[in-house]
Amino acid sequence: MYLVRMYVICTTEIMAKRPLKLRVRIPNFQPDARAWRGAIHAAITDVQKNGDVRYMKSDKLQVDICFYLRNPKLTMLDLDNRVKDVCDALQGFIYDRGKGGLKPIIPNDNQVYRLIVEKRLPPKVNLASLSTIVIRRYDHDGRTARTERNTRKH
């Protein structure tokens, strides 16, 4: 009996963390928000199908987004509006006012503890280069990374 318990303890300590890193090339900005959200969602779920990355409600995440935009969009488009479209796509919200019907990639965008967003010109070698998104585990600050996620709203 003692040896069995010891074996169980040892195997649980060896188990690796669940993979949470997902790097995807997403379509560049489209004026039609519904079409763009749908294309972003499709690009991410296509990559997700080929791997074993799944996000649960308890996951704390970091999202890095790099938008490749050509002039004059580079200076005209606001990042906050583009980020909202990406976050809606991650939650499966394709239509206005939080409606969608698509399976969420992440259960809720309140799981994002760190968000790094950048807009830049595409590389000269490939002006049609796609934008990128990287979703990964957030673990930069021990004060938030180690505590259990509380999703209850007060």
Element (H, E) at 11: helix 2-14
**What pTM did the predictor assign?**
0.81
Residues 57-74 have pLDDT tens digits of 999 999 999 999 988 888
DSSP 3-state assignment of 22?
Answer: strand
Q: 30 or 98: which carries more pLDDT confidence?
A: 30
Do the strands 22-26 and 112-120 form a parallel or antiparallel pair, or are they unpaired?
A: unpaired
DSSP for residue 107: S
The domain spans of the chain are 17-139
> Which residues pair with residue 117 across a beta bridge?
65
Nearest C-alpha neighbor of 63 from the set 151, 134, 149, 154: 134
Residues 103-147 have pLDDT tens digits of 999 999 999 999 999 999 999 999 999 999 999 999 887 777 666
Cβ atoms within 10 Å, residue 131: 23
CATH of 17-139, one of 2.40.110.10, 3.40.30.10, 1.25.40.20, 3.30.1330.70: 3.30.1330.70
